């Protein structure tokens, strides 16, 4: 009979899976490694895992037999049908109280469904966001577990041991029920899209507007990383800009068409579903889509005219405006992300700890940055905060930066350089602070052509219709809401 020696099993021996196993091993946990292609198990045991306590299994039956109770199985396989296929094979081998953890980038609706389906069978399911890439997995990722709360006490010692630490605090805590963990990871990835696009726009303005060289731009990002913009993405941007090989600067030879795996798109779709104006992430997704139209863009560049000017004023002064514009836009992106989390929590009855989420993102993950500590403090001070922009720290930051973002965006417009994320950040800021928007005209238009009704100021809750032309009827639409 096989002896139960392993604390946890991990299925999926791609880079992330292998590194998480080695990370768990470093922290004293015995891990059983399994892969659908069993040759990979043997290769892993003979190479990367050689000399460790890692054990292998060459069938799911053998893997489950090697696990201590409650049996904990973590999946790091491609999201979608592969996860369901493994769950179907595992359920007959597990008992009530055993735990399945999905650490892939699954859609949160799938995690909701799996949590409920498995709970009915007595199996505890966890959908956990894992961020930090290859290095994070090996030395400390940010982990965002959600699902069946009964599983948390059994996985907490492992997860909080292997995750990144920020000021001694683990970048991992229980997020919430059903799909909450994967929803939070999805929003994290959406914010990541926004951060990356904002940095790319700043680079575009520096390169094509100011005419700066790679070393100069690298030095600018290095300086920016010493202050409010201190973050992983600013740091790696500085390194990327100055990286050279035998042919010169590598960045200038990389094709300007961006890929995506879908999580930014899922964030934008959720924002539309829930009616939350997460405009910056949406623009970041569309910017990647536009970049993919490379052939069309080359053709258009010879047909469509734009300004043919270079920046003539003080570059050093403008770079400070650009730095502040990037900082303000980043604040707006996070504010929008937390608006989406709040709305989803309301709809799904998740009890999300927003300050805790900010702390989870402070280390290990791709969006780790200095000001996440300020987000944590904002929610500690006021757990019912409706929007980050209304917190004293962030309101003051926007007051200090809003003039600069106007300079940066208007300068880019005059130079013919697209800044969709910076521009939409400013548009959202001005829209959010406007006590009166032109939606009164929009409502009048809707009522004019479709009898969709409107509310009068001071008579909120009472919907009325006007026969604008004298030819329309007095009957209003009641079910059509567009």
Domains delineated in the chain: 8-174 (3.40.50.720), 185-433 (1.10.1040.10), 440-481 (1.20.5.320)
Q: Is 12 annotated as a binding residue?
A: yes
pLDDT at 43 over 80: yes
> Between these two residues, 263 and 314, which has the higher pLDDT value?
314
The rounded distance, in Å, linking the Cα atoms of 23 and 132 is 13
Is residue 116 exposed (0-12), middle (13-18) or buried (19+ Cβ within 10 Å)?
middle
Residue 312: other Cβ atoms inside 10 A: 6
- Residue 293: its pLDDT value, please? 95
Q: Is 17 annotated as a binding residue?
A: yes
- Dump the DSSP string for 95-156: -TT-EEEE-S---HHHHHHHHHHHHHTT-EEEEEEEESHHHHHHH--EEEEEE-GGGHHHHH
> Could you report the per-residue pLDDT of 208-260, keeping only the tens digit for each?
999 999 999 999 999 999 999 999 899 999 999 999 999 999 999 999 998 77
Q: Is 446 annotated as a binding residue?
A: yes
pLDDT at 479 over 60: no
Is residue 380 exposed (0-12), middle (13-18) or buried (19+ Cβ within 10 Å)?
middle
Confidence tier at 482 by pLDDT (50, 70, 90): very low
> Between these two residues, 475 and 59, which has the higher pLDDT value?
59
> Could you report the per-residue pLDDT of 446-474, keeping only the tens digit for each?
999 999 999 999 999 999 999 998 876 67
Annotated catalytic residue within 112, 177, 192, 228:
192
Average pLDDT over residues 309-338: 95
Average pLDDT over residues 386-396: 96
pLDDT at 269 over 80: yes
- Residue 476: its pLDDT value, please? 67
pLDDT at 480 over 60: no
Average pLDDT over residues 124-130: 96
- Residue 471: its pLDDT value, please? 79
Annotated catalytic residue within 40, 185, 265, 330:
185
Average pLDDT over residues 52-61: 96
Q: What is the mean pLDDT of the chain?
A: 94
Give 231's strand partners: 369
H or E element in which residue 402 lies: helix 392-415
Q: Is 387 annotated as a binding residue?
A: no
Sign of CA dihedral 258, 259, 263, 266: positive
Supply the DSSP symbol for 248.
E
Average pLDDT over residues 427-446: 97
Can 185 be counted among the known catalytic residues?
A: yes
- Residue 309: its pLDDT value, please? 83
- Residue 4: its pLDDT value, please? 84
- The percentage of residues in the chain with a pLDDT greater than 90, rounded to a whole number, is 86
Q: Is 348 annotated as a binding residue?
A: no
Q: Is 288 annotated as a binding residue?
A: yes
> Between these two residues, 164 and 2, which has the higher pLDDT value?
164
Q: Is 72 annotated as a binding residue?
A: no
- The percentage of residues in the chain with a pLDDT greater than 70, rounded to a whole number, is 98
203: Cα separation from own chain's centroid: 21
Q: Are 347 and 172 in contact (CB under 8 A)?
A: no
Q: Is 105 annotated as a binding residue?
A: yes
Average pLDDT over residues 58-70: 97
> Could you report the per-residue pLDDT of 361-375, keeping only the tens digit for each?
887 778 888 888 899
Q: Is 131 annotated as a binding residue?
A: yes
Q: Which of 96, 89, 261 is nearest to 185 (CA)?
A: 261
Distance set, CA 276 to CA 48, 127, 211, 234, 376 (Å) = 45, 24, 38, 28, 22
Average pLDDT over residues 430-442: 97
Can 226 be counted among the known catalytic residues?
A: no
Q: Is 261 annotated as a binding residue?
A: yes
């Amino acid at each position: 009979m096989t002896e139960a020696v392993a604390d946890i099993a991990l299925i999926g021996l791609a880079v992330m899976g292998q590194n998480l196993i080695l990370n768990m091993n470093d922290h004293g946990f015995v891990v059983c490694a399994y892969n659908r292609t069993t040759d990979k198990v043997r290769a892993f045991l003979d190479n990367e895992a050689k000399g460790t306590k890692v054990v292998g299994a060459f069938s799911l039956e053998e893997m489950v037999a090697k696990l201590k109770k409650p049996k904990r199985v973590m999946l790091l396989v491609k999201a979608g049908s592969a996860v369901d296929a493994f769950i179907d094979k595992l359920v007959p081998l597990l008992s009530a109280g055993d735990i399945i953890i999905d650490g892939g980038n699954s859609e949160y609706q799938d995690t909701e469904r799996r949590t409920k389906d498995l709970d009915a069978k007595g199996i505890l399911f966890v959908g956990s966001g894992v961020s930090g890439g290859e290095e994070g997995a090996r030395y400390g990722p940010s982990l965002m577990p959600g699902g069946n709360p009964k599983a948390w006490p059994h996985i907490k010692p492992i997860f909080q041991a292997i995750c990144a630490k920020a000021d001694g605090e683990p970048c991992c805590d229980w997020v919430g029920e059903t799909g909450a963990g994967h929803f939070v990871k999805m929003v994290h990835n959406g914010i990541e899209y926004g951060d990356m696009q904002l940095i790319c726009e700043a680079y575009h303005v520096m390169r094509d507007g100011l005419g700066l060289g790679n070393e100069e731009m690298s030095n600018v990002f290095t300086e920016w990383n010493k202050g409010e913009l201190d973050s992983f993405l600013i740091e790696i941007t500085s390194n990327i800009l100055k990286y050279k090989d035998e042919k010169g600067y590598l960045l200038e030879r990389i094709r300007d068409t961006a890929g995506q795996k879908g999580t930014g798109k899922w964030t934008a779709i959720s924002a539309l579903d829930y009616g939350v104006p997460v405009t910056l992430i949406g623009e970041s997704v569309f910017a990647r889509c536009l970049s993919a139209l490379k052939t069309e863009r080359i053709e258009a560049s010879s047909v469509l005219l734009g300004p043919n000017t270079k920046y003539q004023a003080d570059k050093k002064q403008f770079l400070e405006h650009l730095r502040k514009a990037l900082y303000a836009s980043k604040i707006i992106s996070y504010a929008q992300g937390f608006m989406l989390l709040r709305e989803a929590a309301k709809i799904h009855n998740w009890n999300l700890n927003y300050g805790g989420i900010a702390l989870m993102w402070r280390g290990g993950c791709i969006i780790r940055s200095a000001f996440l500590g300020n987000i944590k403090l904002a929610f500690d001070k006021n757990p019912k905060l409706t929007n980050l922009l209304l917190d004293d720290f962030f309101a003051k930051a926007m007051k200090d930066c809003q003039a600069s973002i106007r300079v940066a965006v208007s300068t880019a417009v005059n130079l013919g350089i697209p800044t969709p994320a910076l521009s939409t950040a400013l548009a959202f800021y001005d829209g959010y602070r406007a006590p009166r928007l032109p939606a009164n005209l929009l409502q009048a238009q809707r009522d004019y052509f479709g009898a969709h009704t409107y509310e009068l100021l001071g008579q909120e809750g009472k919907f009325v219709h006007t026969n604008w032309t004298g030819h329309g009827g007095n009957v209003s639409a009641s079910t059509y809401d567009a």
